[in-house]
Structure 1
């Protein structure tokens, strides 16, 4: 599994970049957000490596949060890498977090390839994920996601967990779980 790539930019288009890594040139599919962020002749990208029966695809992201969003999106039934990449091209992770928090189907339908049915499914599947996307730094989303999974495994509803975690200030998983449990007991 390729999780990151660093190399010299050989060729760049809005949807892909060719990176020369020690003489081996990789084609990496990128979003418009990443395209705009690549300004230097050398670049380091976080990647998601997708292996299919007929192809091996490498998707690159300048920001770790964009990779997290992409990988979460492709887990949703009916959302493939192309649609996930279109979402990443249309919204930054923070903007998409706001779309999820507001359950804004109209905004989501702006993305090419997403109709009302798909938009509704995405919003339902990603309920509570907005906390991870709108958080300020990379450690908090990971800790928040782990804390959410732990609390959900204890039997709390996704919506309750999301509300409780939004009020928490901790940045470590164990501290987040303890803080959220105190809030959830009061509900």
Structure 2
């Protein structure tokens, strides 16, 4: 699996780059935000999500780690494919997207090409706990909460049950998971 790519820009358009990496030229799909970040640079380094399908092997590149996280998180939602996720990344920065999710702003999310009212609502429900990586104490607490949610989901618990179990809990990831497991055991 390819997770990063560094190379010389051979050709560019707003939504893709051709990168020469040791003599091989790769087409990397990029959001408009990433395209603006790497504009004018001859040598670029990108974080990559590789999508392998029956008919294609696609690379999606990101200049920012949080933008890659946003893209990968969106792909996990039923009905959201790579092109829609790329459109969201082109429309919003990770920070503004986190604010939209926190505010549950359906109208703003519907502005993204390819997202209607149903898809916008589904995205907001599925990503209720989306946060961007930050170094503040508040961001750290939110990151611990998000990690606890992901750990409990990987154990097979439903999102709604996890939300109820974590309500009012605080602490690091391990403390949150232990407290939630105690509550979930009683449900």
Q: Normalization by structure 1: what TM-score? A: 0.80
Residue 91 of structure 2 corresponds to: 90
Q: Which secondary structure state, in structure 2, belongs to the residue aligned with residue 78 of structure 1? A: coil
Structure 1 equivalent of residue 174 of structure 2: 177
Unaligned runs of at least 5 residues, structure 2: 183-187
Go from structure 1 to structure 2 and tell me whether the alpha carbon gap of 1:150 and 1:117 turns closer, same or farther (over 3 Å shift). same
Asked if structure 1 preserves the Cα contact closer than 8 Å seen for 2:151 and 2:177, the reply is no
CA–CA separation in structure 1 for the residues paired with 2:178 and 2:125: 24
Q: Which runs of 5+ in 1 are unaligned?
A: 169-174
Q: Distance in 2 between matches of 1:56 and 1:45?
A: 17
The 1:83/1:126 distance shift into structure 2, 3 A limit, reads same
Matched residue count: 173
Structure 2 match to 1:107: 108
Change (3 A) 1:105 1:66: same
- 1:107-148: CA deviation from partner (whole Å, max 9, x where unpaired): 00000000001100111111111xx22x425x9587553233
Q: Is the 8 A contact 2:110 2:117 kept in 1?
A: yes
1:124-183 deviation line (CA, Å, top 9, x unaligned): 111111xx22x425x958755323323565886337748756xx6xxxxxx34327878x
Give CA-to-partner distance per residue, 1:69-105, whole Å, 9 cap, x none.
1111111111000000000000001100000000000
- 5 Å-filtered alignment, 1:147-162, equals 147-150=148-151, 157-158=162-163, 161=166
Deviating more after overlay: 95-104 vs 143-152:
143-152
1:171 is matched with none
